[in-house]
A = this chain, B = another copy of it.
Amino acid sequence: MIKASIIGATGYTGAELVRILSRHPQVELVALTSQSYVGQELGRVFPHLKPATTLVCSEQDVLKVARESDVIFTALPHGLSVPIVQEAIENGAKVIDLGADFRLDDQAEYEHWYKVEHHASGLLAEAVYGLPEINREKIARARVVGNPGCYPTSAILGLAPLLKKGLLQANSVIIDSKSGVSGAGRGLSLGVHYSECNDSIKAYNVGGHRHIPEIEQELSKLAGEKVAISFTPHLTPMTRGILSTIYGNLTKDVSYQEVHQLYSEFYGEEPFVQVLPLGELPQTKWCYGSNHCFIGLVVDPRVNRVIVVAAIDNLVKGASGQAVQNMNLLFGLPETSGLEFAGIYP
């Protein structure tokens, strides 16, 4: 049994990790730390987890946690993970960071977008971007995995086959994403106050969202050239789910069937990517609570553009499920272990 701990267990991604790991056949949860709920049973903080665990939230004693754990999941706001990951690694634990601190390769880029200094440039260089469908082999050999952001997961999975084949004009890519409100976390603010956002949709952080450098970094690697995107996130009146509608200009005349074929082959063996049949498009509810990404495609010859629609659950494939998928890779387990559950529908 792999001994796993969570630093920051009482946010939504932490709770989702517990939901998944508590039923993982090769995992034993050993510690859950929290800032706000030390000494409380997690099942009191999140009653839906009452049947799943009797663990009590403990203080964030990283040394102790690292010594008793094979793997640590850090689920903290950006900037807070760096010292923790360093200490954990030094004490022999592997780390999967669900925050933003180990996603960007370039320290200056990180510091530019996140407005904090990064004090572990060595680890940053070593860390692997944890998108298994792209980086499977590297992840398996990593000590630190930077778990992808929710929006980037949908965007990169949606674009990878086309970019890798050089079929898209690098600077034509526009990603229009719609996220459920849980993506904003558990912290209180007027923008996610029920009465303010129910029955209403809005765009936010247009052109300035911190997931932009992460998306561009990975798309550029796939394309083999610098890709600059437009990315617009929207707050959508639903609890979970991300739908990314992605537009790109084709570099040559390819048919709908050819593009569809390309995706079907690219993701043919992937357990968590479902390329939909010709003519079908996903809705986010299909992956509510599951680790699956559904991808639908349209080629619009009128404007010589391809439109890709990718749907995930922001808290599962977009966060905690993907983190468990990465853990499976780190420890040589079947990649789907503990993640085989279907979504909840309707």
Q: 1/0 per residue A292-336: CB within 8 Å of B? A: 101010101011010101010000000000000000000000000
**Inter-chain contact B199/A199, CB cutoff 8 Å:** yes
Write out the residue numbers on chain B whose beta carbons fall within 8 Å of the beta carbon of A207. Answer: 298, 300, 302-303, 307
A222-275 interface (Cβ within 8 A of B): 228-230, 232, 234-241, 243, 245, 247, 271, 274
Contact B342 A48 (CB under 8 A): yes
Q: Are A23 and B341 in contact (CB under 8 A)?
A: yes
- List, in ascending order, chain B residues with CB within 8 A of A230's CB: 247, 300, 303, 305, 307
Within A121-151, the residues touching B (CB, 8 Å) are none
| Contact assessment for A288 and B201 in the assembled complex, using a CB-CB cutoff below 8 Å | no
Taking a contact as CB atoms under 8 Å apart, the answer to whether A48 and B234 are in contact is no
Alpha-carbon gap, A241 to B194, bound state (A): 14
Checking B236, B239, B271 against A236 with a beta-carbon cut-off of 8 angstroms, the contacting residue is: B236
Most buried by B among A207, A240, A274, A296: A207
A51-B340, A229-B303, A237-B237 known; 16 other A-B pairs, CB under 8 Å? Answer: A15-B345, A47-B286, A174-B174, A178-B201, A186-B196, A200-B288, A201-B284, A202-B284, A230-B300, A232-B307, A235-B283, A236-B236, A239-B346, A240-B344, A240-B346, A341-B341
Sample of 17 A–B contacts (CB below 8 Å):
A47-B274, A47-B282, A48-B344, A50-B274, A51-B271, A176-B245, A180-B195, A188-B189, A196-B285, A197-B283, A200-B238, A200-B285, A202-B283, A202-B284, A203-B309, A207-B302, A341-B341
